Amino acid sequence: MLLPPLLPDELLLGRLIRYLAISGDEVGAFCEKAFGSNRISLHPLLTAGIEHLSHAVGESPEELLNQQTLAPLFLFYLPGHASNLKKYLLANEGAKALRESQLPSYGHGGSVCLKWCQLCAKQDIQSYGMTYWHRAHQIPGVIACYKHQVLLGNIALEERKHRFDAGLPPLRNEVTRTALDIEYRVAKFSQQLTLVLMKAPPVIELSSVYRWRLADLGFITSGGRVRRQLLMRQFITWVGSYHSGPDTPLPNDIKDYRYLSELLNPKTSHHPFRHLLFASWLFSHPNEIFKQKQSEPNVALVKPSLIKTKAQQLENKCLKLLEENRSMAEVSRLTGKSRCYLKRIALQHGIKLNLKPRQLTSELKSKIVHLALSGMHRELISERCGIGIGSIEQVISSVSGLVDWRKKCHFESVRRRYRLEIQRYMLENHDAIRRDIKSDCNSAFFWLYLYDRHWLDSALPSPAKPIGHGEYVLNSD
Ligand SMILES: [Zn+2]
């Protein structure tokens, strides 16, 4: 049995209908041949029995499933149900596949219809001599043609009858109604997405991708919370007066926060249209969904609960250390939190703080002086002694000659460092002349030239004589 060649974007069920129209086969006999049973009910979006059909018509089951049904869309949006759904679609388990698609549980499984565009139908007659059912028009919730920005017509399919009774899309001489911009945009986005998914369905966590995008757009606070009122207000304004159809789950009103917040929860599954509507608003092209940099850490991406847990853990650690009667400086060092933060949480939890003496005791003063004499930096002394830099400076300036001594220490330290730099350079570069040292150890050279010229002159190689063309010759003496 050979099916008629696949037309662009043709729906599998539509192709079977076309086969029946052309061949004139009797429906029961055809079903027996194609699906191994004449008691089957074929869903237009999720046609099951693919494995048997592929044998009967000699075509690849993957191609039938991915290119001619809307399975890729459902598999993508229902990762938790994907393997079972695919299994049932390949086997002749239409009812189970429909249950696995969750459509009945969303309240949109009962009404099954086929949609078509009048303008596409006219074009198809001109190009192929007949109308046919386009797959992209059948996407749940989509009510406009992705090519023509007109509203689609639809035919309800009766459950008890064979789906083949629908026949080919009718050509009517009706005035087509223009679709709203948003309806057109969702249709276009959805069609583009099915094309992307048809090639190689990538595995991504959508809720994370949404969060990324929302963070970029400023809908996530620094604490990782979604600004849901602002988000919903803008989203509802955008959705505007999208025409509601039998398979169009739209948000109820501006306070329907769950409509979007549930999409940000990775554990729940939702009607594909909710994703399509939201994603059409967030992204201009479906490729952007897959381009989100998921590997980079981003506070907004981390689930709020996780941030909360981490913050909570750190707070508990701080409290535990403070309760152990450790000094503020020590707790601050161990946890990286500021003294101000520690004071606040200690106060909130009624913990008595082990504050270092605010007043300078003579013992502390002599410790500061001792450390200051060793030339230690003020910040380091402040940390060691657990008091502010201001107090350290106060002590240092109160001891006669200490400031000058520290200046001298600093001077000597710099001199040692620069002398060493020049010496090392000369050891590593035996042929270096003064000009090389001057350019390669610039800071050291000029500091020593200003403050230690005598040493510099004695340490540098003898001046070389220029011999022209920027070349020098070393003095032999
Ligand atoms: Zn069209």
Domain boundaries, the chain: 12-179, 193-291, 304-348, 362-399, 405-473
Rounded Cα distance between 236 and 88, Å, is 37
57: CA distance to ligand 1 center in Å?
A: 29
Å from CA of 67 to ligand 1 middle: 19
Expressed in angstroms and rounded, the spacing between residue 100 Cα and the centre of ligand 1 is: 31
Q: Tens digits of per-residue pLDDT, 346-365?
A: 877 777 776 655 567 888 88
Band (107; pLDDT cuts 50, 70, 90): low
Question: What would the mean pLDDT of 449-468 be, rounded to a whole number?
Answer: 84
Q: What is the residue type of 439? A: S
For residue 8, what pLDDT is reported? 94
> Above pLDDT 90, what percent of the chain?
30
Mean predicted confidence (pLDDT) in 32-38: 87
**How far does residue 123's CA lie from ligand 1's centre (Å)?**
8
Q: How far is the CA of 119 from the centre of ligand 1 (A)?
A: 5
Gap from CA of 7 to ligand 1 centroid (Å): 15
Taking the alpha carbons at both ends of the chain, their separation in whole angstroms is: 104
Question: Who's near 315: CB < 8 A, 6+ residues apart?
Answer: 345
Q: Quick one: pLDDT band at residue 299, thresholds 50, 70, 90?
A: very low
Structure tokens of 160?
């008890």
Closest C-alpha to 113, from 72, 147, 141? 141
Distance 78 CA to ligand 1 centre (A): 28
pLDDT at 109 over 70: no
- For residue 19, the CA-to-ligand 1 centroid distance in Å is 23
What pLDDT does 86 receive?
92
The per-residue pLDDT for 108 is: 56
Cα-to-centroid distance, 118 and ligand 1 (Å): 6
Indicate the helix (H) or strand (E) that contains 157.
strand 153-157
Q: How far is the CA of 147 from the centre of ligand 1 (A)?
A: 5
Q: Residue 162 Cα, ligand 1 centroid: separation in angstroms?
A: 26
What is the Å distance from ligand 1's center to 92 Cα? 32
122 alpha carbon – ligand 1 mean position (Å): 9
Structure confidence at residue 476 (pLDDT): 47
**CA 150 to ligand 1 centroid distance, Å:** 7
- Report how far ligand 1's centroid is from the alpha carbon of 21 (Å): 23
| pLDDT of the residue at 125 | 93
Q: How far is the CA of 427 from the centre of ligand 1 (A)?
A: 81
Q: What are 57's two structure tokens?
A: 């018509």
Using CA atoms, how far apart are residues 235 and 214, in angstroms rounded to an integer? 12
Output the pLDDT for position 297: 39
Q: How far is the CA of 238 from the centre of ligand 1 (A)?
A: 23
> What is the predicted pLDDT for the residue at 363?
84
Sign of CA dihedral 403, 405, 406, 407: positive
Cα(117) to centroid(ligand 1), Å: 5
Q: How many CB atoms lie within 10 A of CB 29?
A: 10
Beta carbons of 259 and 274 less than 8 angstroms apart: yes
- For residue 154, how far is its CA from the centre of ligand 1 (angstroms)? 13
Ligand 1 mean position, distance from CA 130 (Å)? 15
CA-based nearest residue to 239, from 191, 180, 151, 152: 180
Task: Tell me which of 110 and 224 has the higher pLDDT.
Answer: 224
- pLDDT confidence bin for 259, thresholds 50/70/90: confident
- How far away, in angstroms, is 138 Cα from ligand 1 center? 12
Least confident of 187-201, 225-239, 356-370, 419-433: 356-370
Measure the CA angle with vertex 273, ends 267 and 276; round to 5°.
85
Label residues 79-114 b or e (16+ Cβ within 10 Å = b). Answer: eebbebbbebbbebbbebbbbbbbbeebebeeebbb
Integer Cα distance of 137 and 382 in angstroms: 72
Among 53, 62, 70, 48, which Cα is nearest to 2's?
53
pLDDT band at 60 (very low <50, low <70, confident <90, very high): very high
pLDDT digits (tens, 9 = 90+) for 409-452: 999 999 999 999 999 999 998 888 888 888 888 889 989 998 89
Q: How far is the CA of 37 from the centre of ligand 1 (A)?
A: 35
Comparing 351 with 137, which gets the higher pLDDT? 137
What's the CA-to-centroid distance between 116 and ligand 1, angstroms? Answer: 8
Residue 437: strand, helix, or coil = helix
Lowest-confidence pick of 175-189, 293-307, 323-337, 445-459? 293-307
Q: Which of these ranges, 41-45, 78-82, 178-182, has the smallest mean pLDDT?
A: 41-45
Higher pLDDT, 162 or 268: 268
Rounded to the nearest whole angstrom, what is the distance from the C-alpha of residue 244 to the centroid of ligand 1?
19
* Beta pairing class for 153-157 and 471-473: unpaired
Asked if residues 321 and 313 have their Cβ atoms less than 8 Å apart, the reply is no
What does 9-47 look like in DSSP terms, one character per residue? Answer: TB-HHHHHHHHHHHH---HHHHHHHHHS-S-----SSS-
The confidence band for 190, taking pLDDT boundaries of 50, 70 and 90, is very high
Coil, helix or strand for 158? coil
Q: What's the confidence (pLDDT) of residue 355?
A: 65
Q: What is the mean pLDDT of residues 315-339?
A: 82
**pLDDT digits 0-9 by tens, 206-229:** 888 898 888 888 888 877 888 888
CA of 115 to the centre of ligand 1 (A): 11
Would you state the pLDDT for residue 292? 63
Could you tell me the distance, in angstroms and rounded to a whole number, from the CA of residue 43 to the centre of ligand 1? 23
Over range 62-70, report the average pLDDT. Answer: 92
Spacing, Cα 151 to ligand 1 middle (Å)? 9
The one-letter amino acid code at 8 reads P
148 CA to middle of ligand 1, Å?
A: 5
pLDDT at 171: 85
Across the chain, mean pLDDT equals: 84
Compute, in angstroms, the gap from residue 165 CA to the centroid of ligand 1.
Answer: 23
Q: Which residue has the tokens 């092209």?
A: 285
Residue 18 has pLDDT above 60, yes or no: yes
Centroid of chain to Cα 167:
44
472 beta partners: 466
pLDDT tens string 159-182: 666 677 788 998 887 788 999 999
186 CA to centre of ligand 1 in angstroms: 14
